[in-house]
Amino acid sequence: MTHALIVIDVQNDFCPGGALAVPNGDEIVAPINAMMPDFDAVILTQDWHPAGHSSFASSHPGKAPYDLVEMPYGPQVLWPDHCVQGTPGAEFHPDLRTDADLILRKGFRSAIDSYSAFFENDRTTPTGLEGYLRTRGIDRLTLVGLATDFCVHYSAVDAARLGFDVTVRTDACRAIDLDGSLAAAEQAMHDSGVTLA
Ligand code: VGL
Ligand code: ZN
């Protein structure tokens, strides 16, 4: 089997002091760096939104961060402005090793968010990552990063649905945990056949 490490969104805005800080998000940087040499391929994802992105509460008059809205593609949580293209918050954590094979950006279309590394939030528009992995003969994936209950969760469920052998190393992830979203994500990943390790 050819085994890739997919490092989800280890960016300044998701670390302490960032715009959408995940509690203790920076704790996973050193363990992730230490895991990288054990894989045949390393892929980093980067949340990469244009200013005024439709997932930002600031783009919806009268709405606040963490409100839920109905978008044409389904329900969407509204977030503080984060990971705006070209800003320091969108950069990787300064200690993260970035000598990866591929850096995949997602969430770059204004009208739609993309939690998953495989599909935008309509769950059908592909990012191209599946084709990249398949053409490289990669069939096994280990996922780590931020946040367990959003981008790691959706990426893991989509990868399992596409037929990859998927493990999430929860010790190298950290969660936002809005209203039980971590428990729901763990259940959904388990039900999709993802190994939680
Ligand atoms: C994420 C919320 C908004 C994540 C990205 O990386 O989990 N969460 N954008
Ligand atoms: Zn985002």
pLDDT for 187: 98
Helix (H) or strand (E) holding 190: helix 181-191
pTM over 0.95: yes
Q: Where does the pLDDT of residue 80 fall: very low under 50, low under 70, confident under 90, or very high at 90 and above? A: very high
pLDDT for 129: 98
pLDDT for 84: 99
- Best residue among 7, 11, 14, 155 to mutate for probing ligand 1, ranked by most atoms within 8 Å of CB: 14
Q: What is the mean pLDDT of residues 151-158?
A: 98
Catalytic residue among 47, 106, 113, 149: 106
Question: Is the CB of residue 93 less than 8 Å from the CB of residue 11?
Answer: yes
Backbone angles phi, psi at 78, to 5 degrees: -95, 135
pLDDT for 115: 98
Spell out the domains of the chain, with CATH numbers in brackets: 2-50+85-180 (3.40.50.850)
79 lines ligand 1 (CB under 6 A): yes
